Structure 1
Amino acid sequence: MRKLDREWGEAILRRDAAKLDRLLADDYTRTEPSGETIDKAQEIAETKAPALVSAVEFLRTEDVEVKVSGEQATVTGIVVVSVRFDGQGIRERYGYTRTFAKRDRRWRIVAARLTRAGAGR
C-alpha cells in the first residue's frame, strides 16, 4: 500500500494522467476540506490542467500508517504540498485518508479525504 501511495504522489507531481487513471477506481471520490467532492474524471482533469493555471511543485507524505483487512486497505498520513495556482505559490499541510479496494485482482484507490492540518515542518 505504501508503494501505491507513493505512486499516487508521483503521478500528481509528474502530471501523469494515465498512471492516475490506472490507480483510481472508476467510482473514486475525493472529499476536500471544504466538503466539496471530486470524482475520477475531475481528478484526472486537474492533473491535465495547463501548468500555467495550476501545478503541484512539491509533494511529501509524513507519518504514513497502513491498515489492511482482506480486500480493503486504509492509508492515513500528512501530505505537504506546494502548488502554483494562477501564478501564486501556496504551501499547505493536509491530513489524508486514502481507501483502497482490491478490484479485478488489483488494488485501486476508491476514496480520498483531505482535512486541514496544523503548521509543521
Structure 2
Amino acid sequence: MRTLICTLLFTLCAAQASAGDREQLQQKLDAFLAGAAGDADVHQRFWADDLIYTSSSGKRFGKEVIMQGLEAAKGQPVTASYRAEEVDIRLFDDIAVVAFKLVGEDRSSGEPETSHYFNTGTFVKRDGEWRAVAWQATKIPAEDN
C-alpha cells in the first residue's frame, strides 16, 4: 500500500511539473515572438550561448550572429510581427522540443505581406531556465498555407 501511495504521489508531482514546464515554455515562446522583431534582451534570454540555428534559407549560425544582426538593425523601425500557431510542446525531463507554425507579417512595403514557417526548437533547462540550443526554420510554400 505504501508503495502504491508513493507511486501515485510521484506521478501527480511529475504531472504538475510537466504542466508547469509546458506553461513556462509557452510563455517564453509568446514573449519571444512579441519582441523578436528587434528586442536584443528578448533574444539574449531566449537563445542558449551554444545555440545551433538553421535558417529557412539553409544557413547555419549561432547566437553571436543573431545578436550582431540585432545590433546592426538597432534604431531602424520595426515593420514585422510574429505569432505561433499549432504549438506542440513535448517534454523529456530537462529537454523539450517545441514545434509550431510561425506566422510573420511584414509591413515594410506598406501592404502587409504574410509568410509561414514550420519552426522546431530544442530547449534545455539549465539552472531552472529554459534556453533554445537548436532551432530549425522551414519556409512553407504559399500554396500549402
Say whether residues 1:11 and 2:38 are aligned partners. Answer: no
TM-score (norm 1): 0.82
Q: Which moved more, 1:19-28 or 1:55-64?
A: 55-64
Cα drift, residue 47 of structure 1 = 2.8
State the Cα deviation string for residues 13-61 of structure 1 (Å, max 9, x = none).
3x21022112211011210123201310111233331464x84522111
Say whether residues 1:47 and 2:70 are aligned partners. Answer: yes
Say whether residues 1:26 and 2:57 are aligned partners. Answer: no
User: What is aligned with 2:18?
Assistant: none
Could you say if the C-alpha distance between residues 56 and 79 of structure 1 is closer, same or farther in structure 2, counting changes exceeding 3 Å?
farther
Q: Which moved more, 1:73-82 or 1:88-97?
A: 88-97
Aligned length: 117
Instruction: Indicate if the aligned counterparts of 2:34 and 2:81 stay in contact, CA closer than 8 A.
Output: no
Q: Which moved more, 1:54-63 or 1:36-45?
A: 54-63
Larger RCO, structure (CA 8 Å, separation 6 or more): 1
1:47 partner SS = helix
Could you say if the C-alpha distance between residues 28 and 56 of structure 1 is closer, same or farther in structure 2, counting changes exceeding 3 Å?
farther
Say whether residues 1:107 and 2:117 are aligned partners. Answer: no
Query: Which of the pair has more CA radius of gyration?
Result: 2
Identity of aligned residues (%): 26
Could you say if the C-alpha distance between residues 94 and 51 of structure 1 is closer, same or farther in structure 2, counting changes exceeding 3 Å?
farther
Instruction: Return structure 1 stretches of 4+ with deviation > 6 angstroms.
Output: none
State the Cα deviation string for residues 53-105 of structure 1 (Å, max 9, x = none).
x84522111111100110000110100112367x6865311000011101122
Please report the RMSD computed on the Cα atoms of aligned residues, expressed in angstroms: 2.2
Amino acid at match of 1:106: E
More helix by percentage: 2
Q: 2:120 aligns with which of 82, 90, 97?
A: 97
User: What is aligned with 2:85?
Assistant: 62
Q: 1:37 aligns with which of 45, 50, 60?
A: 60
Could you say if the C-alpha distance between residues 61 and 51 of structure 1 is closer, same or farther in structure 2, counting changes exceeding 3 Å?
farther
Structure 1: give runs of 5+ residues left out of the alignment.
none
